[in-house]
Amino acid sequence: MMRHLQEKLRVELGERAYDILIGPGLLAEAGGHIAPLLRRKRVAVLTDETVAGLHLETLKDGLASAGIEMVSLALPAGEATKSWPHFTRAVEWLLDQKVERNDVVVALGGGVIGDLAGFAASVLRRGVRFVQIPTSLLAQVDSSVGGKTGINAPQGKNLIGAFHQPSLVLADTSVLGTLKPRDFLAGYGEVVKYGMLGDAAFFDWLERMGPALAAGDMAARVAAVKRSCQMKAEIVVRDETEQGDRARLNLGHTFGHALEAATGYSDRLLHGEGVAIGCALAFELSSKLGLCAQEDPSRVRAHLKQMGMKVDLSDIAGDLPDADGLLALMGQDKKVVDGQLRFILARGIGEAFVTSDVPGSVVRDLLQEALRAR
Ligand code: GLY
């Protein structure tokens, strides 16, 4: 099935190096790709109830065609699953299934399942290998690559976790066809982020190809997922545990996380939507600080609008805190270092950098303006 569209990348992390395969039809071929990793032909799959209904049979058949037996646990879909109770259930289920040190756990789902399953694999018997089979666009271009795993705490998102790299990532782009348009576009927020943070030519390409990509053009989807994963892999190889440069991947996230917290991590604002609005604000801030041309934030906003995405604070339904309230939420972010907020700013499209040197008063003015426009 359209095999000619399949692409392969390698994340060069020495002993922990792994392949990312991208393209349509990979679920149905999963057995052939996973078999070389296995000592015995059996895997334990963690998934969610929605994804299980849509894709588990295809995966089961794909594994069976290589003689691999599968057991599976479907957790409830949604962010609330990234919590201790579901994590405990997943780990105890893996132990009940007698998953051994040399076995492989498979994460079939979006970012919630990938993060939870990866974290479960990192602690099970002091660490077993796992394969990421991301089914959302966001998971295919971001969370399935790079080894950040974890769950949320009542105190904040992703505060409990571990770095644990997968042994293989299978990004089947044909499953993107089952996503709701809103979820697809939220994932697209992370795709366009890569152009904004480090590849102006990719941003140009997305301006031209974004609409076709959203409409289902498979070659464009494969190319976008490939370029995103390539950029993420390059950054992760340079800075696996985020001592510096990896933080550039958080473009738009300082504002975005505050907006997610302000909206209670609810359906009012999806993570990728918060990132897109956050990127627009980060470019606005960069322009206010004289770092980039005034046209850059306008171009960012124009593309997001062209794609039908949320761009302004007025696109978020319901009340929001005032500028000081949003600043306080930003201060609770894990990107605070030595009490200083870290921002990802840009000298232009494709030229993002990390800095703690941003006067709070400029951020407050920017937020006040953005709130006034509501
Ligand atoms: N999602 C940001 C990172 O993986 O570093």
In the predicted model, is pLDDT for residue 362 greater than 80? yes
Mean pLDDT of all residues in 163-168: 98
Contacts of 34 by beta carbon, 8 Å cutoff, 6+ apart: 43, 63, 66, 68, 104, 106, 131, 168
Which of 137, 154, 178 corresponds to the end of one domain? 178
pLDDT mean across residues, the chain: 95
pLDDT of residue 311: 96
Q: What is the pLDDT of residue 89?
A: 98
C-beta of 271 in contact with ligand 1 (< 6 A): no
Active site residue 190: yes
Quickly list H helices, 216-322.
218-238, 253-262, 271-288, 295-306
**pLDDT given at position 296:** 98
Is 178:54 a contact under the CB 8 Å cutoff?
yes
Do residues 118 and 239 share a domain?
no
Q: 105 and 225 share a domain? A: no
Query: Percent of the chain at pLDDT above 70?
Result: 97
148 lines ligand 1 (CB under 6 A): yes
State the residue range of the domain holding 47.
3-178
64 CA from centroid of ligand 1 (Å): 33
Pair 151, 264 in one domain: no
| pLDDT surpasses 60 at 360 | yes
249 lines ligand 1 (CB under 6 A): yes
**Residue 1 pLDDT > 60, yes or no?**
no
Over range 234-239, report the average pLDDT.
97
How confident is the model at residue 338, as a pLDDT?
A: 67
Q: How confident is the model at residue 335 (pLDDT cuts 50, 70, 90)?
A: low
CATH of the domain at 146: 3.40.50.1970
Angstrom distance (rounded) from CA 199 to CA 194: 7
- Predicted pLDDT at 71: 98
Is residue 341 over pLDDT 90? no
**Residue 355 sits in the same domain as residue 208:** yes
Q: What is the pLDDT of residue 334?
A: 60
Concatenating the DSSP letter of every residue in 319-340 gives: ----HHHHHHHHHTSTT-BTTB
CA 38 to ligand 1 center in whole angstroms? 28
Name the domain boundary from 178, 200, 233. Answer: 178
Please pick, among 227, 271, 301, 310, the residue that the annotation labels catalytic.
271
353 and 330 in a common domain: yes
Which has the minimum average pLDDT: 81-90, 151-160, 302-311?
151-160
Please answer whether residues 262 and 370 qualify as being in contact, where contact means their C-beta atoms are separated by less than 8 angstroms: no
Residues 134 and 202 in one domain: no
361 lies in the same domain as 241: yes
Looking at residue 155, what is its pLDDT?
80
Average pLDDT over residues 306-324: 96
According to the annotation, is 135 in a ligand binding site? Answer: yes
Q: Is 310 considered catalytic here?
A: no
Residue 18, pLDDT above cutoff 70: yes
Check whether residue 149 and residue 37 sit in a common domain.
Answer: yes
Do 16 and 126 lie in one domain? The reply is: yes
State the total domains in the chain: 2
**Assessment of whether the complete model's pTM goes beyond 0.75:** yes
The 10s digit of each residue's pLDDT in 175-211 is: 999 999 999 999 999 999 999 999 999 999 999 999 9
Look at residues 126, 144, 178 and tell me which one is the last residue of a structural domain.
Answer: 178
What span, in angstroms and rounded, lies between the C-alpha atoms of 144 and 340? 29
Q: From the CB of 168, is ligand 1 less than 6 Å away? A: no
Q: b/e string for 36-53 if b means 16 or more Cβ within 10 A?
A: ebbeeebbbbbbbebbbe
Residues 71 and 88 in one domain: yes
pLDDT at 54 over 70: yes
Give the number of other Cβ atoms within 10 Å of residue 158's Cβ: 18
Burial of 318 (0-12, 13-18, 19+ CB in 10 A): exposed
CATH of residue 304's domain is 1.20.1090.10
Average confidence (pLDDT) over 29-58: 98
pLDDT tens column, 207-219 = 999 999 999 999 9
Three-state secondary structure call for residue 342: coil
Return the half-sphere exposure (C-beta side, CA atoms, 13 A cut-off) of residue 129. Answer: 17
Mutational test site, ligand 1, from 145, 148, 271, max ligand atoms within 8 Å of CB = 148
Q: Is 157 annotated as a binding residue?
A: yes
Q: Do 80 and 138 share a domain, yes or no?
A: yes
**φ/ψ (deg, to 5) at 315:** -80, -5
Do 69 and 216 share a structural domain?
no
Q: Has 335 been labeled as part of a binding site?
A: no
Look at residue 158 and tell me whether its pLDDT is greater than 70. Answer: yes
The closest residue, in CA terms, to atom 2 on ligand 1 is 249
